[in-house]
């Protein structure tokens, strides 16, 4: 650790963690949603949601397409009753009328009652009326009655189909917005229009299969089964829809609990709705007409063909829908929906005109006709089929999206309804179905309509981006606010800061992009959104992201994970390790202040305790992400929206409601001084007394003869007392309320310091949200959590099951059940969840040394004493292990002994009080080379950070490493590289062993020679000399020594039935700075294997050090991110200790 100058007498370097000024809190604080935070969805859950929302649109394509083959069958079965009547038109077209009703009705219901309500209703309608359509019967088996029933059921079936559009499609667009940017349009298309097209294909394939099975002699069965098949798709997703939740976008932006300002909505969105609806009308006019009558067209091409042949060729034609639908979605992600729609329509028009001109030649070649006709349909799906619904779903805000989409789709279905009715008339006008012109004419009409639609789309349709849903919601809220509409009643998670809108240019237009979040923090389900704001930086040449990383193992692992993710996304970034606040201040001055290209800063395990805006003075446009496990949070960072964004691990949202309320209330209170309150009270009281005196005098003059004077005095006194009793002084009430809230905040800070979730665990949550989780990231998260447990700073038993599930998911056990010491093959890097001994680095040390230097065994068996070492020898003898065997490298020990070690040691553990000698952990192998446990990796990385890794050729002793200058930066990058280099990490194990030997040597001397003094509030020890003195000038090494000693003392006092051992302070002389490094360790942060503390690592020495520094006049420096670490001048050391000893209890 580099020595930094110590300030003058009576001053303290570094921020004070408990300092807060409620007077300076800004008033523009936004309140957050009171709901519980959402559990992040996995990639599979997000995919299932999209599937459940959109896949039932299959029924739209199927039930509309199958009526073509059914029409043909009914004409064959009932030539007089069906073909020579209007039933053909009614059965085909009535479903469109029902669809329009369903789209308009459920457009409103899906906005006001919820997407889930609309989807469940649509599913039930489709199931019921598909079955009823298949079972249509007339009274007394009347054919006309059966056809009338079929017409009626298909109308209600249309309502269910229509309900799917504003409920299912809109919900699918909102669910797809939770996917990774760059693929959202494709996901929407695959589960909406592609499903419709798949329905069209099966609407020909199913009748073809049925006619192959039953032959043309059983057409009565075939048409009923073909219609009844439409009930299966909605039935298959009914469970998923029943259990799914509303999309996150709907929860944020709905207007269920307030009126929809239709006047404002129409004024803003009619210009967008009209061209969308027009294009949809023209497209459906031709698309549905061709699909329904394609079988009839084929009958003219193959006049002597059987129904089976017609259905087979029709299936082939319909299959051309699929490649167009699939390619259109991916093209929309790359080129934008509007441009893809235009290109698709132009290509469709070109093919249609060619087909019309060459129709006489094509009719003589059924194969060529099917290919050209199929291309006509392919380009239709590639362009408008995919993209008109996509544009409609993403061109309006969440609050009205169902109605906007429903109206546009309803107009489209009106086009389909009109087309299906007029299509036969168009054929007749061109010469009739028996002529070439009569059959080619519709293609001229369809091609002309495609050209018109394409031009409308190119010039009038809005272009939608990957973030359109968020942008539309933000723009709509701003628009409502500008028109004095109260948006606080909307379902948004927070109010939008319309004053801090960022204007971005997109496609030649200025769009207001509002970035909103919960206060100054984000919850776990918003991690991915925060990270995604970095992805546009990949197109910039300059480095726009800076990572400030603390020098600890957890921060190192989190940094490695984040850097790997950014490298994958081509986000330029720079990593800068910081040892303390002065390093941070220097880096801010040199790397941040003058860099206009810098957009984001990540504070990894640093910055949580200070007001970052006041400390770093960030310029406008720079965002600071704080990912820190240190507690308490500085409330200025949490509850004021601005440049700082804290990543909440759940503690803020779940456990800090009182602090949040107190902070916001204080920010809104007027400031009133004590003098103002007293003067105001005196004035009010004097005025009331004077008023009462005048009233008494008037009463006395008017009633002197009727009342005794004594009674009059008593009455006046009573009135005065009653009046004073009911007078409420608002200034005193305000003062009491302010005091209550200030007390809440003071109590929060006065707890001391503690730790939250490991920062590597937070980054792994981000990776899971982005579907980037893999073994490498998981292993880093495991190391970070394990390091917290080794330092007694985390809730290991709370997070272990979560990581264990991830290990089992990403590393399924082999079917053979074979267990190997190392990997199953040379490239095996799998992770296993295994039970480990609490022996230190046992795989790489001898069993004896591992047990001797184990912090757990040292405390339990008192191995620092001669009697304790004899007890260890006796334990090994009882389990049948000789010292000769135990002093060999563990990997060289007899295999039989190693196999029986767990069982034998488990049998003797209770006798020696070693109930927790085995704990749940993880291991990872590197092929046949080596296997490391998570604690092995944590010990090695910690040693590298503190001492570095000596090179093979030039070995340097640990004690000399301090003299090598600015080693901490080099050590950090060495540790970073060792995460990718297993050989370098293994060399770190040797350094960790040497470090632990130094800790045990020094701790043993302090305990055996009774150099630990007991003061009134704590115990303390001073390291002034010895061969390992230079090692303990590093705060982490000294902290490990303090933890080792405090656990030994705590176990001793536990055996003596002292339930509350004192905290422990240790100081080490740093001869290079002529000062002392001091570390305080609280009892609550020492041995706690048997429980999960609410505040892990709770330590009040940070507060004590600050108070003593202010009151004692000692020259000290509080520069470490660990508040319980302080440096003091040698001359002021005695005075500092005296001040500390006089302070109140520390635990």
Local structure of residue 1130 (DSSP, 8 states) = G
- Domain-located, residue 496: no
Listed residues 436, 468, 500: the one ending a domain? 468
Q: What are the pLDDT digits (tens) for 784-829? A: 999 998 988 878 888 888 999 999 988 887 765 555 666 678 888 8
Listed residues 468, 492, 513: the one ending a domain? 468
Phi-psi region of 852 (alpha: psi -120 to 50; beta: other; left: phi over 0): alpha
Cα separation, 177 vs 183, whole angstroms: 9
User: Do 91 and 225 lie in a common domain?
Assistant: yes
At 354 the three-state DSSP class reads: helix
Q: What does 195-249 look like in DSSP terms, one character per residue?
A: HHHHHHHHHHHHHHHHHHHH-GGGHHHHHHHHHHGGGHHHHHTHHHHHH----HH
Contact between residue 823 and residue 927 where contact means Cβ atoms under 8 Å apart: yes
Report the interhelical angle of 307-319 vs 67-77 (nearest 10°). Answer: 170
User: Do 880 and 964 lie in a common domain?
Assistant: yes
Cα separation, 909 vs 861, whole angstroms: 11
What's the whole-model pTM score? 0.57
CA angle 922, 928, 932 (to 5 degrees): 25
- Predicted confidence at residue 1102, as pLDDT, reads 85
Q: What are the pLDDT digits (tens) for 65-78? A: 787 788 778 878 88
- Predicted confidence at residue 516, as pLDDT, reads 36
User: Do 443 and 314 lie in a common domain?
Assistant: yes
User: Residue 1076: enclosing H or E segment and its boundaries?
Assistant: strand 1075-1081
User: Do 991 and 1015 lie in a common domain?
Assistant: no
CA dihedral of 106, 112, 113, 119, whole degrees rounded to 10: 40
Q: What are the pLDDT digits (tens) for 300-341? A: 555 555 667 777 777 777 788 888 888 988 898 888 899 999
For residues 548-566, average pLDDT: 93
Give the largest CA-CA distance in the chain. 129
Contact between residue 1050 and residue 1087 where contact means Cβ atoms under 8 Å apart: yes
CATH code for the domain of 555: 3.90.1640.30
- Domain-located, residue 705: no
Q: What are the pLDDT digits (tens) for 589-624? A: 999 988 888 889 999 999 899 888 888 888 888 899
| Res 380 pLDDT > 50 | yes
User: Do 447 and 377 lie in a common domain?
Assistant: yes
- Predicted confidence at residue 41, as pLDDT, reads 56
Would you state the structure tokens that stand for residue 1004, as one six-digit string?
Answer: 């043993």
User: Do 1024 and 1107 lie in a common domain?
Assistant: yes
Q: Residue 82 is part of which domain span?
A: 43-468
- Predicted confidence at residue 911, as pLDDT, reads 84
Span of 121-130, 426-435, 540-549, 845-854 with lowest mean pLDDT:
426-435
Contact between residue 237 and residue 51 where contact means Cβ atoms under 8 Å apart: yes
Burial of residue 1, with CB atoms counted within 10 A of its CB: 0-12 exposed, 13-18 middle, 19 or more buried? buried
- Predicted confidence at residue 373, as pLDDT, reads 77
| Res 585 pLDDT > 70 | yes
Report the interhelical angle of 759-769 vs 775-790 (nearest 10°). Answer: 160
Confidence grade of residue 497 (pLDDT, cut at 50, 70, 90): very low
Burial of residue 31, with CB atoms counted within 10 A of its CB: 0-12 exposed, 13-18 middle, 19 or more buried? middle
- Domain-located, residue 474: no
| Res 11 pLDDT > 60 | no
User: Do 742 and 640 lie in a common domain?
Assistant: no
User: Do 459 and 536 lie in a common domain?
Assistant: no
- Domain-located, residue 889: yes
User: Do 1038 and 982 lie in a common domain?
Assistant: no
Confidence grade of residue 496 (pLDDT, cut at 50, 70, 90): very low
CA dihedral of 455, 456, 459, 465, whole degrees rounded to 10: -110
Would you state the structure tokens that stand for residue 664, as one six-digit string?
Answer: 């916001």
Whether the bond into 770 is cis, omega within 30 of 0: no
CATH code for the domain of 110: 1.20.1250.20
Percentages helix, strand, coil for the chain, rounded to the nearest 5?
65, 10, 30
What long-range pairs does 214-223 form, CB within 8 A, spacing at least 24? 216/76, 216/306, 216/307, 216/308, 219/73, 219/76, 219/77, 219/307, 220/77, 222/73, 223/69, 223/70, 223/73, 223/74, 223/77
- Domain-located, residue 493: no
CATH code for the domain of 1093: 3.10.310
Sign of the CA dihedral running 317, 320, 321, 322: positive
Phi-psi region of 880 (alpha: psi -120 to 50; beta: other; left: phi over 0): left
**Lookup result for tokens 């001359």:** 1131
For residues 918-925, average pLDDT: 91
- Predicted confidence at residue 950, as pLDDT, reads 63
| Res 690 pLDDT > 60 | no
Would you state the structure tokens that stand for residue 819, as one six-digit string?
Answer: 């267990």
Contact between residue 521 and residue 638 where contact means Cβ atoms under 8 Å apart: yes
- Predicted confidence at residue 1054, as pLDDT, reads 79
- Domain-located, residue 507: no
Q: What is the number of domains present in the chain?
A: 5
Burial of residue 740, with CB atoms counted within 10 A of its CB: 0-12 exposed, 13-18 middle, 19 or more buried? exposed
- Domain-located, residue 544: yes
User: Do 402 and 534 lie in a common domain?
Assistant: no
Span of 560-569, 637-646, 863-872 with lowest mean pLDDT:
637-646
Confidence grade of residue 211 (pLDDT, cut at 50, 70, 90): confident
User: Do 1033 and 961 lie in a common domain?
Assistant: no
User: Do 838 and 887 lie in a common domain?
Assistant: yes
Cβ neighbours for 834, distance < 8 A, ≥ 6 positions apart: 920, 921, 922, 923, 933
When mean pLDDT is compared over 104-108, 359-363, 490-494, 519-523, the highest value belongs to: 104-108
- Domain-located, residue 808: no
């Amino acid at each position: 650790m580099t020595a930094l100058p110590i300030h003058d007498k009576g001053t303290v370097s570094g921020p004070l963690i408990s300092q807060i000024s409620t007077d300076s809190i800004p008033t523009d604080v936004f309140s957050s949603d009171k709901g519980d935070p959402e559990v992040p969805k996995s990639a599979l859950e997000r995919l299932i949601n999209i599937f459940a929302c959109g896949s039932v649109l299959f029924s739209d394509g199927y039930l509309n397409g199958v009526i073509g083959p059914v029409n043909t069958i009914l004409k064959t079965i009932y030539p007089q009753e069906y073909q020579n009547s209007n039933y053909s038109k009614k059965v085909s077209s009535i479903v469109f009328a029902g669809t329009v009703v369903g789209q308009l009705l459920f457009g409103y219901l899906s906005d006001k009652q919820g997407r889930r309500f609309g989807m469940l209703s649509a599913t039930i309608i489709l199931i019921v009326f598909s079955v009823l359509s298949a079972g249509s019967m007339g009274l007394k088996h009347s054919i006309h009655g059966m056809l009338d029933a079929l017409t009626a059921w298909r109308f209600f079936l249309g309502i269910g189909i229509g309900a799917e559009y504003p409920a299912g499609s809109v919900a699918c667009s909102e669910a797809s917005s939770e996917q990774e940017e760059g693929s959202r349009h494709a996901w929407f298309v695959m589960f909406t229009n592609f499903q419709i097209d798949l329905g069209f294909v099966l609407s020909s394939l199913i009748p073809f299969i049925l006619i192959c099975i039953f032959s043309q002699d059983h057409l009565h069965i075939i048409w009923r089964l073909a219609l009844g098949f439409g009930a299966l798709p909605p039935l298959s997703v009914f469970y998923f829809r029943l259990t799914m939740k509303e999309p996150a976008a709907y929860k944020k932006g709905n207007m269920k609990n307030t009126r929809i300002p239709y006047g404002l909505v129409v004024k803003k969105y009619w210009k967008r709705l009209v061209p969308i609806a027009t294009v949809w009308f023209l497209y459906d006019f031709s698309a549905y007409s061709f699909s329904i009558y394609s079988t009839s067209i084929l009958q003219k091409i193959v006049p002597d063909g059987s129904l089976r042949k017609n259905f087979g060729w029709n299936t082939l034609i319909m299959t051309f829908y699929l490649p167009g639908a699939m390619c259109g979605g991916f093209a929309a992600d790359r080129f934008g929906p509007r441009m893809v729609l235009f290109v698709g329509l132009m290509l469709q028009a070109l093919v249609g005109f060619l087909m019309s001109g060459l129709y006489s030649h094509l009719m003589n070649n059924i194969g060529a006709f099917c290919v050209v006709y199929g291309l006509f349909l392919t380009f239709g799906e590639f362009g408008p089929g995919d993209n008109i619904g996509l544009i409609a779903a993403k061109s309006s805000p969440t609050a009205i999206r169902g109605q906007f989409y429903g109206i546009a789709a309803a107009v489209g279905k009106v086009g389909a309804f009109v087309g299906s009715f007029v299509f036969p008339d168009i054929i007749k006008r061109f010469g009739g179905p028996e002529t070439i012109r009569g059959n080619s004419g519709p293609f001229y009409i369809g091609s002309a309509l495609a050209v018109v639609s394409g031009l409308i789309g190119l010039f009038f349709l809005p272009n939608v981006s990957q973030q359109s849903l968020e942008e539309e919601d933000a723009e709509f809220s701003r628009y409502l606010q500008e028109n004095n509409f109260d948006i606080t009643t909307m379902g948004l998670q927070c109010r939008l800061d319309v004053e801090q809108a960022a204007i971005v240019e997109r496609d030649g237009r200025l769009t207001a992009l509002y970035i909103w979040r919960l206060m100054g923090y984000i919850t776990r389900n918003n991690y991915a959104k925060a990270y995604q704001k970095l992805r546009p930086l990949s197109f910039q040449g300059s480095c726009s992201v800076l990572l400030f990383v603390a020098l600890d193992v957890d921060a190192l692992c989190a940094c490695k994970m984040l850097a790997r993710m950014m490298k994958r996304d081509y986000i330029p970034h720079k990593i800068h390790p910081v040892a303390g606040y002065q390093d941070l201040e220097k880096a801010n001055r040199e790397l941040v202040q003058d860099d206009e290209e810098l957009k984001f800063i990540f504070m990894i395990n640093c910055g949580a305790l200070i007001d970052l805006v006041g400390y770093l003075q960030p310029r406008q446009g720079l965002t600071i992400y704080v990912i820190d496990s240190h507690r308490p949070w500085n409330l200025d960072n949490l509850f004021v929206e601005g440049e700082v964004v804290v990543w909440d691990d759940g503690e803020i949202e779940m456990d800090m409601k009182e602090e949040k309320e107190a902070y916001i209330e204080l920010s809104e209170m007027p400031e009133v001084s004590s003098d103002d309150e007293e003067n105001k009270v005196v004035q009010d009281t004097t005025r009331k007394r004077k008023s009462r005196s005048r009233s008494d005098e008037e009463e006395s003059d008017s009633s002197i003869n009727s009342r005794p004077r004594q009674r009059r005095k008593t009455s006046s006194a009573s009135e005065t007392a009653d009046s004073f009793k009911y007078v409420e002084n608002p200034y005193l009430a305000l003062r009491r309320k302010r005091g209550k809230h200030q007390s809440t905040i003071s109590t929060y800070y006065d707890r001391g310091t503690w730790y939250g979730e490991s920062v590597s665990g937070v980054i792994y949550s981000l990776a899971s949200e982005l579907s980037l989780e893999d073994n490498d990231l998981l292993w880093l998260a495991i190391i970070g959590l394990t390091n917290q447990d080794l330092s007694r700073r985390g809730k290991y038993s709370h997070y272990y099951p979560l990581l264990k599930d991830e290990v089992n998911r990403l590393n399924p056990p082999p079917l053979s059940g074979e267990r190997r010491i190392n990997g199953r093959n040379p490239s095996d890097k799998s992770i296993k969840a295994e039970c480990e001994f609490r022996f230190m680095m046992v795989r790489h040390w001898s069993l004896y040394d591992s047990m001797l230097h184990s912090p757990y065994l040292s405390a339990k068996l008192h191995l620092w004493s001669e009697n304790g070492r004899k007890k260890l020898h006796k334990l090994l003898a009882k389990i049948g292990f000789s010292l000769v065997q135990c002093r060999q490298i563990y990997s060289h020990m007899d295999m039989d002994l190693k196999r029986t070690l767990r069982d034998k040691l488990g049998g003797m553990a209770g006798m020696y009080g070693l109930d927790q000698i085995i704990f749940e952990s993880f291991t990872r192998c590197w092929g046949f080379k080596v296997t490391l446990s998570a604690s092995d990796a944590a010990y090695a990385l910690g040693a590298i950070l503190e001492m570095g890794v000596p090179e093979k050729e030039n070995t340097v002793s640990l004690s000399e490493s301090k003299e090598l200058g600015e080693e901490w930066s080099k050590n950090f990058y060495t540790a970073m590289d060792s995460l990718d280099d297993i050989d370098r990490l293994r060399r770190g194990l040797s350094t960790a062993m040497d470090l632990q030997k130094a800790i045990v040597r020094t701790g043993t001397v302090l305990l055996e020679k009774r150099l630990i003094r007991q003061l009134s509030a704590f115990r303390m020890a001073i390291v002034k000399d010895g061969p390992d003195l230079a090692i303990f000038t590093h705060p982490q090494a000294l902290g490990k020594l303090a933890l080792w000693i405090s656990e030994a003392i705590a176990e001793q006092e536990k055996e003596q039935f002292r339930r509350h051992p004192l905290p422990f302070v240790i100081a080490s002389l740093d001869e290079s700075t002529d000062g002392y490094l001091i570390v305080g360790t609280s009892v609550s942060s020492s041995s706690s294997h048997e429980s999960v503390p609410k505040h892990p690592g709770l330590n009040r020495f940070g507060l004590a050090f600050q108070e003593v520094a202010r009151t004692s006049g000692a020259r000290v420096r509080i520069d470490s991110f660990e508040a319980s670490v302080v440096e003091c001048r040698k001359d002021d050391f005695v005075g500092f200790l005296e001040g500390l000893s006089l302070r109140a209890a520390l635990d």
